[in-house]
Every structure is written in C-alpha cells, then in structure tokens.
Structure 1
Amino acid sequence: MSRRSPPDSLLFPLHPVVPDFAFELTARRDGFWPVAGADEVGRGPLAGPVVAAAVILDPDAVPDGLNDSKLLSAEQREMLFNQIMATATVSIASSSARHIDTSDILKASLDAMRRAICGLATAARFVLIDGRDVPQGLACQAKAIVKGDSRSVSIAAASIVAKVTRDRMMARADATFPAYGFALHAGYATVKHRTAIDSHGPCSLHRMSFRPFRQV
C-alpha cells in the first residue's frame, strides 16, 4: 500500500495572509526591545537609487492595513506612509546609481539598509530584515525573514516608507530628465523607458553596470 503524503501545510508552514506582530513579540519576550523592521526598494530598476528604510512601530499605534508595499495601491501607500511617519521612529537611507555601479546592487542595498538601521533616533536592540541577507556592521541582533514584508508589520511599514520615498525621488528626477518618464515607471525597464534610452541614451541616473548599458 502506498504511503500518503503529508499535507502541504506540514511541509510548507503557512504564514499569515497579512503581516502581524508575532516576530516582534517573540523578540520582546526574549529580552530584545525595541524591535525595528527594515526593507529596501529599487534593486531591479535600470535607473535611480536603491532606498532602504528602518521603522520602529509604536505597539499602541500600529496603522491599520500595513502590508507588503507591492500589494497596496499608490493611494494606500501614501496614506500609510503619513501615518507611519507621524507615529513611528523612522530612518531612511539610499545608495545612488554610481554607488551601485562601483560595488554591486546587493552590496549597495545592504549598505543602504545598514545606514538606515544605524540612523534610527532610538537604537533598535533587534532588527527584522526582509530577505535572506543581514547587513554587516550592525550593533544589534538581526534576523533575515524571506518575504518578511508580508509577515512582519514592522518590515511592511519599512517597505512602504522605502517605496513612497523612492517614488517621490524619481518623480522629482522626472523634472530634471523629462525625456525618460521617471515619474511613470520609477526607472523600471518598461517599454517606454527602454524606448527613451534608445532615443536619448543613458543619463546620470542610469545604472551603467546593468544591462543594457554594459556595452554602451
């Protein structure tokens, strides 16, 4: 007789549909408080910086609706951004296109995240980080969480702050470089963006270490 396979839920534990405070509370029970969440936005675009944010939420004033920034509309992100900035401890850092080109996108992303964490006005004793990698040089304990922006409210808040900040930066860049449409695509490799690059060549915001610029 064949052996039945165990349910998928045993092989792949389910995480909440929306992020919660479980990771933060576990750290608190272990004696680590305050706890920050950290995330970055902008690894994939052809242009512009990568932006990182670190956020320490007030447990008594956690905004409703926090989630992975990619799952929210622009209007929802803006509303939550304002609530986070009004109630939480927030630090933001970025790595420019030139920084990305002179190191690489992973190192530049982790460096921005390290600076965001170290820049918190209230030092975190534990940091929850989205992804698989932890920046070097932190003065506190840290845990990397795959898909953390959909599992931890602190990381979700950081993802929203980083996303809104970067989108605003690219909207301002659009005024300086109007030919590329940065306000529409934020530097990602859309058809409009690639067509503009073909027509005008790269500008100073483009990441020359990325394709299609390596042979330019």
Structure 2
Amino acid sequence: MPERTPHRIAGVDEAGRGPLAGPVVVAAVILDPARPIAGLDDSKKLSEKKREALYPLVIEHALAHCVVVVEAEEIDRLNIFQATMAGMSRAVAGLAPVAHEALVDGNKLPRDLPCPGRAIVGGDALEPAISAASILAKVTRDRLMVQLDTVHPGYGFAVHKGYPTAAHLDALQRLGPCPQHRRSFGPVGRALEQMALF
C-alpha cells in the first residue's frame, strides 16, 4: 500500500502593516512534525535576540518556507490591506513542497490562496507554524530596515523600523519623504503637501 502523504499545513503571517515607510514582509512556513522547534511564539512577544536565534532554526528545520517582500510602491498602488493579501498568496504559492492548507494570522483570507485556508485571530500566539512565519517576516523586515537606514540616512529606520514614532514624524517634517515612504499613508501625504507649499 502506498504511504499516505502527510497533511502539510502552512502558517502565514506578515510584518510591517503599520509603518509609514518600507515594505510589508510576508512569510509562509510548513513545519516538520518530526523536527519541532522549542520557543516559538508571536514574534512581537519575543526579544530581538530571541527572534534572531529562532530565525535560522526555522529555516533549517521547516519542510518549506517562503518570504515575500511587498515594496512601498505596490502598497501605495493597491492599499496596505490588498498588498498584504497579495503577499500572503505569493508566499503560499512559493512553498515547495506545496501546502494542503494555510493558516493565516488575522480575520481575513486572501481570495486567491492556492490552497484551502483558515483565518485565525491571534494565530501567531496559537499556531506554531504561524509563529514561525511571524518570526521570519519580522526578522527579514527588521534587517531590511537597517539596510535602508544606510541608503536613506537621517530618518532613523534602523531604530524605529519605519513605524510612526515621534522621532520619525519629526524627521519626516524636516527631510520630507524618501522613496521608501508610503505616499498613501496620512502623515506622509501631509508632509508632501507641506513641501509643495514651500
């Protein structure tokens, strides 16, 4: 009798929906039941050091993983919700071996997922595969923002990662938006309007 293929479940999560600058990063991960990873949790609850330690373990132990970067330009074109959904579909489609089911953190499923899916509110704390995806997405995005800080100095991207902190809003007023800023986000749009006046 042929051996039954195990049911492969992908966890899907994103990092960077709220920032004013930089990409939104989406990850999909299929964990290997034979190689569990201790310490997985919602990436927001883990220290940076812990996330960085877990990142290579997820890469090494997972059956499959895919990380997708959706740039600011696409976020402005589609809106942040649609850009995130598109990233989720791409991440699941990029898995090899393919997923039989996707568990997505949040309350909405992308319409064009390549397999059946379930949305799970707070899933990044409940489902290890979503926790693993949240760690890959967060670490990837944080590293990207540190790189972007050297390309666009003065905004403090390495510190606040593009989130609307007081220091970031102040830099936005002083320097105006850079190419990594999301034009469709209120504070960036207002900074552009002010620049047009002077």
TM-score by length of 1: 0.84
Within the candidate set 51, 55, 58, 1:77 is matched to: 51
Match of 1:120 in 2: 95
Asked if the contact 2:25/2:140 (under 8 Å) is kept, the reply is yes
Within the candidate set 73, 85, 93, 1:110 is matched to: 85
Correspondence 1:1-216 to 2 at 5 A:
33-88=7-62, 89-215=64-190, 216=192
Residue type matched to 1:149 in 2? D
Residue type matched to 2:28 in 1? A
- Aligned to 1:81, the other structure's residue is in SS state helix
Aligned-pair CA distance for 1:211: 1.2
Residue type matched to 1:56 in 2? I
Residue type matched to 1:136 in 2? R
Give the Cα–Cα distance (whole angstroms) in 2 for the partners of residues 167 and 98 of structure 1: 19
Aligned-pair CA distance for 1:95: 1.1
Unaligned segments of structure 1, at least 5 residues: 1-30
Asked if the contact 2:75/2:83 (under 8 Å) is kept, the reply is yes
Q: Deviations over 1:11-46 (max 9, x none)?
A: xxxxxxxxxxxxxxxxxxxx9711110001100000
Residue type matched to 1:65 in 2? G
Aligned-pair CA distance for 1:138: 2.0
Give the Cα–Cα distance (whole angstroms) in 2 for the partners of residues 32 and 61 of structure 1: 14
Residue type matched to 1:158 in 2? A
Give the Cα–Cα distance (whole angstroms) in 2 for the partners of residues 182 and 213 of structure 1: 15
Residue type matched to 2:169 in 1? R
Asked if the contact 1:32/1:126 (under 8 Å) is kept, the reply is no
Give the Cα–Cα distance (whole angstroms) in 2 for the partners of residues 187 and 198 of structure 1: 14
Give the Cα–Cα distance (whole angstroms) in 1 for the partners of residues 185 and 113 of structure 2: 29
Count of aligned residue pairs for this structure pair: 186
TM-score by length of 2: 0.91
Aligned-pair CA distance for 1:62: 1.7
Give the Cα–Cα distance (whole angstroms) in 1 for the partners of residues 95 and 173 of structure 2: 41
Unaligned segments of structure 2, at least 5 residues: 193-198
Match of 2:196 in 1: none
